[in-house]
Structure 1
Amino acid sequence: MSDKSEQKVETIENAGVTEFRETRGQRVKRHCVRRWWIYLIATLLVILAVVLGIIFGIIPKIAQDSVNDSTLQVDAIAITNPSNERFTLSMNSTAHSHAPVSAHFSPQTFEMYLPTTEGEQPVTFMTLSVGRLDIKDTLTINVSDVVTEILDKTAYDEFSTQVLNNEKLSLGIRSNPEVNVGSIKFKVDYQKTVELMGLNGLKGIELYNPEILDEPLEDGTNMITDGMIPNPSSFTLQVGDLTVDIAVGPQKLGWSVVKDLTLYPGDNKVKIYNHITPALLDVPIFVASLQAPNTNITLTANSTVFNGEHISWLEKPLHDAPPVIAVLNPQ
């Protein structure tokens, strides 16, 4: 075969071969097909990060904001069976909030303290444990007959003083409850200050129907009167035997006892057992004064005894407070 024929055949063979170049899009597509599992994992990780961010970031913040915006109202407090170490506590309260999701609080413990000025650490003087609470827009929290230890006597003495002597007082309540949203659990900070009405120094006591006894009772009582002790607060307070010194102006009359006293909210009708200085009962002007209208009787608290024990956190505030003016035969 001649050289020209060989050249012709070679030209024809080369003509069947063409050079192919991939575009950028084709290369990316082919890479994705080969590495699809890497991109699937990356996508899942991004979704997981978003979900975890919602669970551990957004939802707890929403819950904490809801707690911060909530309000708490203490409707009633009962302190009974007092001693110098402990007492029995009951409390009814109502919380108002906006609950954006269905959730509940795990059992928690409320710490109670008197609010302090900025920079001072509040001192917890008693606690109250409550069970599971379903979070609702209006939440009722009622706890009854819980034996409560006095954790700090100085702080509790101050609380008792404010309850007995003040018209109003503030009480701090805090806890660190666990919120459960389905299977998700996280902590929130709960801290509220509630305003309470106090007993206002037992002002406004009224006395009626003084009766001089022909024969003194075994305990020495020689006059009995009816009485009304107002309690403008929401506290029920078991005092025990309350003893007071009584006088008219500078003239001391003797002393009186209200036995087994429990102060309930509102007007409390009581019997008062009086130990009048016997010599006064023979003075006609004194006997006549017992029937006079609007006679001011000065009462100075002496002691409070429950189950044979002097209750210092009741006795001292009452004794240290200014004397109370009771009105005999108010008109």
Structure 2
Amino acid sequence: MSDKGDKIETIEDAGSPAYSQTRGQKFKRHCARRWWIYLIGAILVILAVVLGIIFGAIPKIAQNSVNDSTIQVDGIAITDPSNTQFTISMNSTAHSHSPVSAHFSPQTFEMYLPPAAGQQPVTFMELSIGELQIQDVMTINVSNVVTNILNNDAYNNFSAQVLNNETMVLGIKSNPQVNVGSIKFHVDYQKTVTLKGLNGLKGILLTNPQILNESLEDGTNMYTDGMIPNPSSFTLQVGDLTVDVSAGPIPIGYAVVKNLTLYPGDNHVKIYNHVPADLVKTEFFAKSLTFPNTTITLTANSTVFNGQHIEWLEKPLKDAPPVMAILNPPQ
């Protein structure tokens, strides 16, 4: 009986119904066995979010920061002019705000005049800029860079606006690489700046006319002191500037300003006058030089640097209206 009872008890235990688990318990048991799969999945999701921020949000933030930035050109010097190239120096200040520490790799500024609606900008010169740390205030300076004229028509138009306009607008664009740590991406940089021009060289004053007893070897027979105002932030090396001179309808020869460089502010120069011999010796001419506040008409004739006519200086000056200078202005 004992053996039989044990047998029956064993059979009853084996045949008892299995324990029923809830869905939650089954899921917990599954997670316990497969935890490493979910961990990898979570890491991939987090990585995707982080990469999305890095390669999506950060470049967008950087582009917005570039769009909101401003640039101010403090001074431009154009020297050693020729008809194909010149030397340029530029001082400028950019204002920006970057939420992260970053810097621009070396880039190239393309200079152009803002085009009319529907037209594409035409680059007339390029300027290489070194690496820049992005800060709230950035100083951007370049010195004595030899620059080629990339488009003659566009550069002639730029020169004409610099010489003849009270203000002019210059466009600057580039596609610099931004470096945020090891993350690198490009942004579009395009700005316009308003600059003061030379305003047609208006306001020239002439003083201290002096007739020479003997003409110089080059034909100069009278000196005049001159003041040429430059209200712009441009420094412009012109070379020898020759102008035709008249008093009202009466031509009185021509005058030369030698080795002229126009700096911002008042430029005091010596003027070499070539007055017709039959006029310079007359008593009337000598007396007229003492009249106060006399209007003298100056019409540009030529600009020569290193023996070469500089067309992008000469043509705008010749095409511009004559300049009304004042001889013996009131003190």
Q: Which residue identity does 2:232 align to in structure 1?
A: S
1:42 equivalenced with 2:41 (yes/no): yes
Which residue of the partner structure matches residue 210 of structure 1? 209
Which one is further off, 30-39 or 88-97?
A: 30-39
Structure 2 Cα separation of the partners of residues 128 and 282 of structure 1:
53
Q: Which residue identity does 1:305 align to in structure 2?
A: V
Residues 223-275 of structure 1 show CA distances to partners (whole Å, capped at 9, x for unaligned) of 00000000000000000000000000110000000000000000000000000
Which residue of the partner structure matches residue 240 of structure 2? 241
Total equivalences in the alignment: 327
Which residue of the partner structure matches residue 21 of structure 2? 22
Q: Which residue identity does 1:236 align to in structure 2?
A: T
Q: Which residue identity does 1:79 align to in structure 2?
A: I
Alpha-carbon shift at residue 39 of structure 1 (Å): 1.2
Residues 28-71 of structure 1 show CA distances to partners (whole Å, capped at 9, x for unaligned) of 12222222222122111101101111111111111100000001
1:292 equivalenced with 2:288 (yes/no): no
Aligned residue for 1:47, secondary structure, equals helix
Structure 1 Cα separation of the partners of residues 228 and 318 of structure 2:
17
Q: Which residue identity does 2:208 align to in structure 1?
A: N
Q: Which residue identity does 1:244 align to in structure 2?
A: V
Which residue of the partner structure matches residue 51 of structure 1? 50
Structure 2 Cα separation of the partners of residues 77 and 310 of structure 1:
22
Which residue of the partner structure matches residue 60 of structure 1? 59
In the alignment, structure 2 segments of 5+ residues that lack a partner are: none
Structure 1 Cα separation of the partners of residues 125 and 280 of structure 2:
48
Structure 2 Cα separation of the partners of residues 119 and 149 of structure 1:
27
In the alignment, structure 1 segments of 5+ residues that lack a partner are: none
Alpha-carbon shift at residue 16 of structure 1 (Å): 2.6
Q: Which residue identity does 1:91 align to in structure 2?
A: M
Which residue of the partner structure matches residue 138 of structure 1? 137
Alpha-carbon shift at residue 12 of structure 1 (Å): 3.5
Q: Which runs of 4+ in 1 moved over 3 A?
A: 8-15
Which residue of the partner structure matches residue 264 of structure 1? 263
Structure 1 Cα separation of the partners of residues 302 and 9 of structure 2:
128
Structure 2 Cα separation of the partners of residues 190 and 118 of structure 1:
20
Structure 1 Cα separation of the partners of residues 269 and 86 of structure 2:
23
1:250 equivalenced with 2:249 (yes/no): yes
Cα RMSD after superposing both structures: 1.3
Residues 99-150 of structure 1 show CA distances to partners (whole Å, capped at 9, x for unaligned) of 2111100000000000012211000000000110000000000000000000
Map 1:74-223; keep pairs closer than 5 Å.
74-223=73-222
Alpha-carbon shift at residue 88 of structure 1 (Å): 0.1
Aligned residue for 1:16, secondary structure, equals helix
Q: Which residue identity does 1:186 align to in structure 2?
A: F
Structure 2 Cα separation of the partners of residues 119 and 56 of structure 1:
33
The TM-score normalised by the length of structure 2 is 0.96
1:302 equivalenced with 2:298 (yes/no): no
Alpha-carbon shift at residue 23 of structure 1 (Å): 1.9
